[in-house]
Amino acid sequence: MIEYYANSFYLLWIMEVKVKEVWIDNKFVYIKTSDGNIYSEAFDDYSSLRNATAEQRAAFEYNDFGIRWDALDEDLCFEGFIHKSQEEEKPELYHIFKNNPELNASAIARSMGISQSLMASYICGYKKPSQERLKFIENRLHSIGNELLALRL
């Protein structure tokens, strides 16, 4: 099912992804959707998964939005599996976190008092944050940068 939301500033589409199965091997995490399609993401694309043990990788849970590795503090959104070839269409938050893997999206979400699954939905473009929420996230990222700039070693 595809839903469209439009206003004078943007057209946002949300594709409902029904995942029936999730599994891993030594290089990839896979999802199988209700229509039988199989998608994958490479562990090498995510530093925490790349550096994890096989046991840590196997310890995941998933819900309607994506996959969560609590011990690794890592999340993958299902939308990212399906639309990974369209990175230029991803929201700016996606590019920020993809290009700065040292930023921990789950920890940043917790520091702002929002759930990690909501932050993951914003990052992958499944949900669009309001301008106010986007500014809140931007301010938190700037705050982290300023804290790092103030360090004296």
SS3 51: coil
Name the least confident of 11-20, 37-46, 57-66, 87-96.
Answer: 11-20
* Strand bridging mode 38-42 / 11-15: unpaired
Q: What range defines the domain where residue 80 resides?
A: 2-149
Check: CB of residue 102 under 8 Å from CB of residue 108: no
Higher pLDDT, 37 or 12: 37
**What predicted TM-score, i.e. pTM, was given to this entire model?**
0.52
Binning pLDDT at 50, 70 and 90, where does residue 99 land? Answer: confident
User: Could you give the percent of the chain with pLDDT greater than 90?
Assistant: 27
Computed over every residue of the chain, the mean pLDDT equals 81
* Average pLDDT estimate for 96-117: 88
Q: How many structural domains is the chain composed of?
A: 1
At residue 42's C-alpha, the angle toward residues 94 and 13, to 5°, is 40
Tell me what the mean pLDDT of segment 124-147 comes to.
92
The CATH number of the domain where 17 resides is what?
3.30.2020.40
Q: What average pLDDT does the segment 26-42 reach?
A: 87
